[in-house]
Amino acid sequence: MNAVTTSAPPAPERAFTVEKHGFDFIPLRERTMTLPGAALFWAGTQANLLPMTLGALAVTLGLSLWQAVIAIVLGNAFFILVAIACIAGPRAGVPTLTFSRAAFGVRGNLPNVALTWIALVAFECLNTILAALAILAFLPIIGIPDPGLPAQIISVIVVVAVGATVAAFGHGAMVWIQRVASIVLVIAVVLVLIFTLGGAQWAGRTGVEPGALIATLTIAAAANASGPISYLFNAPEYFRYLPRDVNPRKLFWTLFTVGFGVATLLGVLGAVLASQVDMSDPIGAPAVLMPTPVYLVFLLAAILGTISNNVPTLYSSGLTLQALGLPITRLTGTLIDSVLSTLLTLYVVVSGGFLDVLTIFAALLIVWLLPFGATYLADAVSRRWRYDPVDLHDRSRLGQYAGVNTPGWVALLAGIVTALLTINSSVFVGPISALLGGADLSWILPSRSSSPSTSCSPSASCGPPISSSWASGL
């Protein structure tokens, strides 16, 4: 089948009909997603425990509630980058790891694809653990006081099975479950805030010494920035079913407003809770702050939100296996990753030994991910989001994106070095960060150092902008 056209007449995307497309181009006639639908979907993807946990971390680090809010706002401002990146989704019509070949080359992008796949599997495990913990917190409330290891194993299998089933159906089902999650999220957040906002400790419980305030603010902001930054390797592909001529400004403002707004609201909620109780257990700790019925709604939102957040991750991991060159369908790739993430999560549940590795990997992911996103984003802007979808799939030496794009890799490596020099994490502190008293700038500077050298020109190996010939028959 041609990567651009299809012979069959298009049909509206249905939630529970298996998606026929994988990492190939979405024909223009099949682009049935709308901006309101994209907004609901995007709200649903934020409806999980991660933004709340990151917001709580700001208070845990010693910031007052007002200071934590500042860090949360600064970190979530990175949804600006994500919203700009997502313009490439409808323009390119292919997944992120396919159109980013233009910045790095078809072969040059393979290391990024491999790292993305590893990261997605790690996030699948972490999401599954959080959802399973929420289920285990729910069981005692309904009369099962000590679930034990069998219940833990069953919870993991149920979480992955539900997420994998939805992800296996594909894009339509993924959009559907996110809409449901967004509605449940609104109800839960409103109820929880009603019962907890009045007890918020705005002056702070521990405080930070004045000399360490800036450094702590940057660390908290970096942690919150990791939320939006984590979408850079897959968010654009969620919107490739939008019409190619969708207004880019409207798309940007829709995705930025929704992403920033929902994540910031959840982050502030986490900070409010952390100002009153120890949030080292983000599932069980809030129970003492609200009536049991409200806590049940909170748990329901946590379970549904985390499962629904796992669906796009499982969906993207299947596409990533295709981008690696495996001769499999998207459905097969999704099922392979589902089995793998189940086995890894069960190992964590039984032994507990692998969780530290997952946590360390997630903490250091920003070192590569932000420079990677900044590089492909600079390339996308320089070519005004114009790609040739046929050449993006051309693995021969003759395609315009063939081989390795050296300027793209120079920019990526410059960003990685900058991140390593300026990061302050629990496992590694860069020398510049140490000189600055522990200030973490790894969430700011790499995006600057990764951008300048990627602009495409007629002599650059990243390929010329797409000609209009391929689109004329669509």
Contacts of 9 (CB under 8 A, 6+ apart): 29
pLDDT digits (tens, 9 = 90+) for 444-466: 887 766 664 444 433 333 444 33
Band of residue 207 on the pLDDT scale cut at 50, 70, 90: low
Tell me how many degrees the CA angle 170-189-338 measures, rounded to the nearest 5: 25
Residue-level pLDDT at 461 = 39
Cα(69)–Cα(403) distance, integer angstroms: 45
pTM (predicted TM-score): 0.87
Residue-level pLDDT at 264 = 96
Residue-level pLDDT at 11 = 55
The domain made up of 29-367 has a fold known as: Hydantoin permease (1.10.4160)
For the beta carbon of residue 343, count every other beta carbon within 10 angstroms: 13
pLDDT digits (tens, 9 = 90+) for 357-413: 656 666 678 899 999 999 999 999 999 899 999 999 888 888 889 899 999 999 999
| The pLDDT of residue 177 is above 70 | yes
Residue-level pLDDT at 123 = 87
Band of residue 204 on the pLDDT scale cut at 50, 70, 90: low
Band of residue 37 on the pLDDT scale cut at 50, 70, 90: very high
Tokens describing residue 265? 């609201």
Residue-level pLDDT at 16 = 80
% of the chain surpassing 70 pLDDT: 88
Tokens describing residue 258? 């929704």
Sorted by where each begins, the domain ranges of the chain are 29-367
Summarize the confidence of residues 296-306 as an average pLDDT: 88
Cα(441)–Cα(221) distance, integer angstroms: 9
- Three-state secondary structure readout of the chain: CCCCCCCCCCCCCCCCCCCCCCCCCCCHHHCCCCHHHHHHHHHHHCCCHHHHHHHHHHHHCCCCHHHHHHHHHHHHCCHHHHHHHHCHHHHHCCCHHHHCHHHHCCCCCHHHHHHHHHHHHHHHHHHHHHHHHHHHHHHHHCCCCCCHHHHHHHHHHHHHHHHHHHHHHCHHHHHHHHHHHHHHHHHHHHHHHHHHHHHCCCCCCCCCCHHHHHHHHHHHHHHHHHHHHCCCCCHHHHCCCCCCCCCHHHHHHHHHHHHHHHHHHHHHHHHHHHCCCCCCCCCCHHHHHCCHHHHHHHHHHHHHHHHHHHHHHHHHHHHHHHHCCCCCCHHHHHHHHHHHHHHHHHHHHHHCCCHHHHHHHHHHCHHHHHHHHHHHHHHHHHCCCCCCHHHHCCCCCCCCCCCCCHHHHHHHHHHHHHHHHHCECCCCECHHHHHCCCCCCCCCHHHHHCCHHHCCCCCCCCCCCCCCCCCCCC
For the beta carbon of residue 111, count every other beta carbon within 10 angstroms: 14
Summarize the confidence of residues 231-238 as an average pLDDT: 93
- Of 267, 306, 269, the closest CA to residue 48 belongs to 306
Residue-level pLDDT at 449 = 64
Q: How does the average pLDDT of the chain come out, rounded?
A: 85
